[in-house]
Amino acid sequence: MTVRIRTITIGVGQPHPLTFDAIARAAEMARELEQVYIAQGYEIQTLRISTRPLFSDLAPAKPEDIFAYTEQLQKWLSETGIAYLSLGPALADELTFPMEYIQSLPRILAHCPALNATAQIASAEFGLNAAAALPTAQVMLELSQMTPDGIGNMRFAMSANCPQYGAFFPAAFHPDTTWGFSVGLQSVTALQDAIHKSKETYPQPDTFLLHCVDDIQAFFETIGQSVENIAQEYAAKKHVEYYGLDLSPAPNGEESIAYAIEAMGLGAFGAAGSVAALAQITTAIKGAGTALKTCGYNGVFLPALEDAGVAARIADKTVSLQTLELLSTVCGSGLDTIPIAGNTTPEKIAAVLLDVAALSLKHRKPLSARLMPIPGKYDGELAVFDSPWLYPTPIVQL
């Protein structure tokens, strides 16, 4: 059974401004955990650090002072060998949030390649701040111009209702003054194996859909329990918190959630039957979450640029932006790594962000929108990156 750990994410128990010692301690904890899991036969893809919301801790600092601080953070991250740190969300769902902080994000993220952030424009507590959608869209467009091929938008997203203590970026953030960690899986291939095994037992589509939730849930409970046992033992030994496991089966290229969904036998990903298939997997993941300590999205990711199957269905026009918005009602993360034309207007992007935020509020679930304006690319052309993690994907029409 192929199950890998996509991320070990350390929550820093210190408010901004952080010290070098805090970064060094987090890096040491991440590497200790990495070795613990490697010793048990796991492959670890990334080590990450999650922090409290930057702008909340540093307010009312000026953007120039915040930029100088983030440059220092980047220097310390380079020295400690950590490639990913989340600055937390700009909490723009609050009507009084200073929009100039959102406007400072392109400069911060373009010059500091380890840093990640989001702009939260909706939450159950405050509702939807529609005025924050356009500045957030403008960040995406500016980042696309300030980083090669628009790659900076891999580290920025609009978020809505995204929970604390999550493992996955860019939405992860850590609200406390306690130290701890969370773990995120990469288990799509194993999920597909579990689906095939369940289909062997229940070959008829109607019978399979009736019983597959229990089988998939049992699969997630089995792989999750092993990861959790190791985490809890380490947490007790080191006197830190274990915040939980994000069971979301993050895909990676040919390890495709779209192909896993198609293995359920209801047709092509994106066509009729996809909502039902995706809902069954999501129900199974949520069910497993009752037996394990979970955190973050704990759902299904559909990242276009990171999933060969999603990219293929965009190419054959089975999947559109509207399809992905529909699937967001039953999946985990919303619109993820969606390449769009570089000349898209900020108003059109803002309208999409408002749609995703509204879905989040309506369905009371965490959603985000990581849209990728690609400079010089237009609808129907192929977005290609010099990265082993990103799959060639057609530009999606908004």
Backbone angles phi, psi at 110, to 5 degrees: -70, -35
Q: Does position 133 have pLDDT exceeding 80, yes or no?
A: yes
User: Does the pLDDT of residue 288 top 80, yes or no?
Assistant: yes
pLDDT at 190: 84
> What is residue 1's predicted lDDT score, i.e. its pLDDT?
55
Residues 370, 175: contact at Cβ < 8 Å?
Answer: no
Is the four-CA dihedral 308, 311, 313, 316 of positive or negative sign?
A: negative
pLDDT for the residue numbered 2: 61
Residue 121 predicted with pLDDT over 90:
yes
**Looking at residues 151-173, what average pLDDT do you find?**
95
Question: Is-contact 194 215, C-beta < 8 A?
Answer: yes
Average per-residue pLDDT in the chain?
95
| pLDDT score at 210 | 85
Q: What is the pLDDT of residues 212-223, one digit of tens each?
A: 999 999 999 999
Q: What is the tally of helices (H) and strands (E) in the chain?
A: 13, 12
pTM of the model: 0.95
Q: Where are the beta strands (DSSP E) in 24-174?
A: 44-50, 85-91, 115-123, 127-128, 156-160
Domains of the chain (ranges; CATH) run 1-398 (3.20.70.20)
Distance between CA 194 and CA 91 in Å, rounded?
Answer: 39
Query: What local confidence, expressed as pLDDT, does residue 107 receive?
Result: 97
**Both tokens assigned to 24:** 């060094």
DSSP string over 225-269: HHHHHHHHHHHHHHT-EEEEEE-----BBTB-HHHHHHTTSS-ST
Q: Give 187's pLDDT tier (boundaries 50, 70, 90).
A: confident
Tokens 């999947």 correspond to: 319
Digit-coded pLDDT (tens) for 336-389: 999 999 999 999 999 999 999 999 999 999 999 999 999 999 998 999 998 888
**Residue bearing tokens 């229990």:** 214
C-alpha count within 13 angstroms, C-beta hemisphere, residue 87:
33
Cα→Cα distances 319→40, 188, 358, 396, Å: 39, 20, 21, 9
pLDDT at 253: 87
Q: Is the pLDDT of residue 261 over 70?
A: yes
Pairing mode of beta strands 382-383, 393-394: antiparallel
Q: Is 54 helix (H, G, I), strand (E, B) or coil?
A: helix
How confident is the model over 40-49, as a mean pLDDT? 96
Q: For the residues 147-167, what does the mean pLDDT come to?
A: 95
Q: Which residues fall within 8 angstroms of residue 391, CB to CB, at 6 or more apart?
A: 253, 305, 306, 307, 308, 311
Q: Is pLDDT of 231 > 90? A: yes
Going through the chain in order, the beta strands assigned E by DSSP cover 4-11, 44-50, 85-91, 115-123, 127-128, 156-160, 180-186, 241-246, 334-341, 367-374, 382-383, 393-394
Average pLDDT over residues 263-267: 91
pLDDT of residue 138: 98
Q: In the predicted model, what is the mean pLDDT of residues 186-193?
A: 88
∠ CA 300-303-308 to the nearest 5 degrees?
A: 110
* Residue 90, both tokens: 């700009």
